[in-house]
Amino acid sequence: MDIRETLVEAGKRLLGEGLTVETWGNISVKDDQGLVYITPSGMDYETCVPDDIVVMTMDKKIVSGKRRPSIETDLHLGVYRARPEIGAVLHTHPIYSNVFAAMGESIPLGICDESAQALGDTIKTADYALPGSLELAENCVKALGNRANACLLQSHGAVCVAKDLKGAFKVAKVLEMTAEIYYRIRAIGGSFIPISAENIKAMQSYVAESYGQPKDVL
Ligand SMILES: [Zn+2]
């Protein structure tokens, strides 16, 4: 599937899976040539078509598409510049993640095996800055650091990154599930037993090296 079509489908998925509401949130993919494909600003995901996707260079020169790109273009480009291994950025506005984003709290990584395996090393909340600002882009890059696959944006939403779009959706789903578990633990006045740093490291190594089927049988 063409990258533009993939992004249109991803927009519908973002909405359908409750990872955002209305036109909020945005999605981008970086191709092999270093071109960034990004969803247009403020357009309805249901009516968005491949021609609405904007294609630009890493220094923000538009090479294709007539629409105005997402308001968070600088945030997406900032992440790609800081983390060359990243190939997809998903900016979501999910409910449970936003509970902690509104409180300006981090979510502990070691709540469950899924978060420990998929989310990198931290789930921090980036300091508040206005939507679309360069400051927000900088705060987000700082919160992600070198290894996190997700962070929260204070009073705003979440940013999920991976080497491809499929991976970014996995991160988004695991992040929201983790936030919901953490919310529920706190709602009943409970506490959780954190998975040890040693076990988190062991799981991440296993996932990187041995999990799933060998590449040649897929
Ligand atoms: Zn947003």
- Domain count for the chain: 1
Are the C-beta atoms of residues 106 and 125 closer than 8 Å to each other? yes
- Report the largest interatomic distance among the alpha carbons of the chain, rounded to a whole angstrom: 53
Instruction: Return the closest-CA partner of residue 138 out of 90, 72, 39, 41.
Output: 72
195 domain residue, yes or no = yes
Going by pLDDT thresholds of 50, 70 and 90, the confidence category of residue 21 is: confident
Q: State the residue range of the domain holding 11.
A: 3-210
Q: How far apart are CA 90 and CA 88, in angstroms?
A: 7
217 domain residue, yes or no = no
215 domain residue, yes or no = no
Phi, then psi, of 55 in degrees rounded to 5: -115, 130
How close is the Cα of 126 to the center of ligand 1, in Å? 13
Going by pLDDT thresholds of 50, 70 and 90, the confidence category of residue 213 is: confident
Q: What is the mean pLDDT of the chain?
A: 94
218 domain residue, yes or no = no
Q: What per-residue confidence (pLDDT) applies to 217? A: 57
216 domain residue, yes or no = no
Q: What per-residue confidence (pLDDT) applies to 11? A: 94
Q: What is the pLDDT of residues 169-195, one digit of tens each?
A: 999 999 999 999 999 999 999 999 999
How close is the Cα of 75 to the center of ligand 1, in Å? 10
Are the C-beta atoms of residues 153 and 144 closer than 8 Å to each other? no
Going by pLDDT thresholds of 50, 70 and 90, the confidence category of residue 216 is: low
Hey, which residues are catalytic here? 72
Read off the amino acid at residue 28. Answer: S
Three-state helix/strand/coil letters over 79-96 = HHHHCCCCCEEEEECCHH
123 domain residue, yes or no = yes
How close is the Cα of 20 to the center of ligand 1, in Å? 9
Residue that is written with structure tokens 């007539």 in the block: 66
Q: How far apart are CA 36 and CA 29, in angstroms?
A: 6
C-alpha dihedral (162, 165, 170, 172), degrees to nearest 10: 80
192 domain residue, yes or no = yes
Q: What is the CATH number of the domain that holds 19?
A: 3.40.225.10
Q: How far apart are CA 175 and CA 124, in angstroms?
A: 11
Question: Any idea which of 41-50, 53-62, 86-95, 159-168 has the lowest mean pLDDT?
Answer: 41-50
